[in-house]
């Protein structure tokens, strides 16, 4: 068990990552509270702890991902559990209101926050709840959080995994793996948009490129094309659809494989290419459209990631971000794309806590900020 030893900051311990679509929150629940501490603990601190740990849902949109909880961590000399909570960024003001209602500012704690929303909502935190945010760089937090969670593991299991036999849909299986020596790695962070980083050490990295076509694009287009309202609903539709009814394949153009360049007939030649046909438009389902949207966005990300890996001469490609949550279609597509186009030279790696690393990095900064000078 990795031990972080610093001067203890005041409870409660939080880290926040306020993204364009989702807010990710990590909360450390101490499990070693003594009877004396319990007696001295102020009521609103107890209230916050009870509220966060006794619920798995908060209002209509807040969710605690119980299956991701990290148990029995020893941090700053305290033992406890790390909880992972998410809610839509559009509900941010309700969260700030809750902080005011629970008199959070009286606890004199620092709220460490990263992501664009740390800047966007800074004034709202100050005026609505009398709370100051310590704003942190989101890419620093992402890398530090990822390396920390990987180092402590997932309750005795590896945090990292890959897919064995990604080109064989019948025998493609999830396998745990180790990130003991992670550098250099290409880190592909898929949130509302996509950032691609070349990471050489914990504090030495560069942003290689990115694309605006990310998880926000998938959900936005699905809402337009199918009338769905949520990411979960969009993925459910996509899981039942057939993208080949929407996309034009190589075999639709060549009548089979394009053998000279090794392009299989089943490869997508033109995303949404069938939609120029009135007959095709009238025969497809909303599920087909959702699946084609997912495949289009995922293939684009995979293509850019592979080109970056080749250009940077990096063979380890790690995909993270909330776009991958409950999204086995995309993880398997990315695994297949990396393997196929690199002729087995590149393996796509994934992490169990996909979209929470920025929040974990902000949480670690809270502990760091309490160190003695």
pLDDT tens digits, one per residue of 54-92? 999 998 899 999 999 999 999 999 999 999 999 999 999
The predicted pLDDT at position 369 comes to: 65
By CB atoms closer than 10 A (0-12, 13-18, 19+), residue 309 is: buried
Average pLDDT, the chain: 92
The closest alpha carbon to 367, from 106, 125, 11, belongs to: 11
φ/ψ region of 77 (left if φ > 0, alpha if ψ in -120 to 50, else beta) reads left
Most confident of 40-49, 201-210, 258-267: 201-210
Contact of 87 with 61, CB cutoff 8 Å:
yes
Report, as an integer, the average pLDDT of 102-129.
92
The predicted pLDDT at position 373 comes to: 44
Report, as an integer, the average pLDDT of 181-200.
96
Distance CA 251, CA 269 (A): 9
The predicted pLDDT at position 328 comes to: 93
Report, as an integer, the average pLDDT of 205-223.
97
Contact of 18 with 116, CB cutoff 8 Å:
yes
Helix (H) or strand (E) holding 75: strand 70-75
Distance CA 181, CA 163 (A): 19
Percent of the chain whose pLDDT exceeds 90: 78
- HSE toward the beta carbon, residue 111, CA cutoff 13 A: 22
Question: pLDDT-based confidence at 34, cuts 50/70/90?
Answer: confident
The residues assigned a catalytic role are 138
pLDDT tens digits, one per residue of 14-32: 999 999 999 999 999 999 9
The answer on pLDDT for 119 being more than 90 is yes
pLDDT tens digits, one per residue of 160-181: 999 999 988 788 999 999 888 8
Report, as an integer, the average pLDDT of 131-136.
94
The predicted pLDDT at position 38 comes to: 82
The answer on pLDDT for 155 being more than 70 is yes
The answer on pLDDT for 290 being more than 50 is yes
Question: β-strand 62-64 against 57-58: which pairing, if any?
Answer: antiparallel
* Prediction pTM value: 0.93
The predicted pLDDT at position 337 comes to: 87
The predicted pLDDT at position 2 comes to: 47
pLDDT tens digits, one per residue of 319-372: 999 999 999 999 999 999 888 888 888 899 999 999 999 999 999 999 986 554
pLDDT tens digits, one per residue of 226-270: 999 999 999 999 999 999 999 999 999 999 988 888 888 989 999
The predicted pLDDT at position 371 comes to: 52
């Amino acid at each position: 068990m990795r031990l972080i030893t610093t001067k203890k900051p005041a409870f409660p311990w939080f880290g926040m990552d306020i993204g364009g679509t989702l807010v990710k929150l990590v909360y450390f629940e101490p499990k070693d509270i003594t009877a004396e501490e319990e007696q001295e603990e102020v009521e609103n601190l107890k209230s916050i702890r009870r509220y966060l740990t006794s619920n798995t849902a908060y209002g209509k949109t807040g969710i605690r991902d119980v299956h991701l909880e990290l148990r029995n961590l020893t941090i700053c000399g305290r033992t406890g559990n790390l909880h992972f909570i998410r809610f839509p960024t559009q509900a941010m003001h309700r969260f700030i209101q809750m902080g005011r209602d629970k008199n959070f500012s009286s606890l004199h704690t620092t709220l460490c926050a990263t992501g664009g929303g740390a800047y966007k909502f800074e004034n709202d935190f100050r005026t609505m709840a009398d709370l100051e945010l310590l704003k942190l760089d989101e890419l620093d937090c992402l890398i530090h959080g990822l390396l920390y969670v990987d180092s402590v593991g997932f309750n005795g299991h590896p945090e990292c995994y890959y897919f064995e036999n990604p080109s064989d849909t019948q025998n493609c299986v999830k396998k745990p793996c180790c990130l003991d020596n992670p550098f250099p790695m290409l880190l592909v962070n898929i949130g509302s948009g996509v950032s691609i980083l070349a990471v050489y050490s914990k504090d030495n990295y560069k942003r290689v490129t990115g694309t605006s076509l990310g998880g926000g694009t998938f959900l936005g287009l699905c809402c337009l094309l199918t009338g769905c309202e949520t990411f979960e609903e969009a993925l459910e539709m996509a899981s039942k659809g057939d993208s080949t009814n929407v996309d034009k394949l190589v075999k639709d153009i060549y009548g089979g494989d394009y053998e000279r360049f090794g392009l299989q007939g089943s490869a997508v030649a033109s995303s949404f290419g069938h939609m120029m046909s009135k007959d095709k438009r009238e025969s497809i389902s909303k599920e087909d459209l959702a699946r084609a949207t997912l495949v289009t966005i995922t293939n684009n990300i995979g293509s850019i990631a592979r080109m970056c890996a080749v250009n940077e001469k990096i063979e380890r490609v790690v995909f993270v971000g909330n776009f991958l949550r409950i999204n086995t279609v995309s993880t398997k597509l990315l695994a297949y794309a990396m393997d196929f186009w690199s002729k087995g030279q590149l393996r796509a790696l994934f992490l169990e806590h996909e979209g929470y690393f920025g929040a974990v990095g902000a949480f670690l900064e809270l502990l760091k900020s309490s160190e003695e000078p």
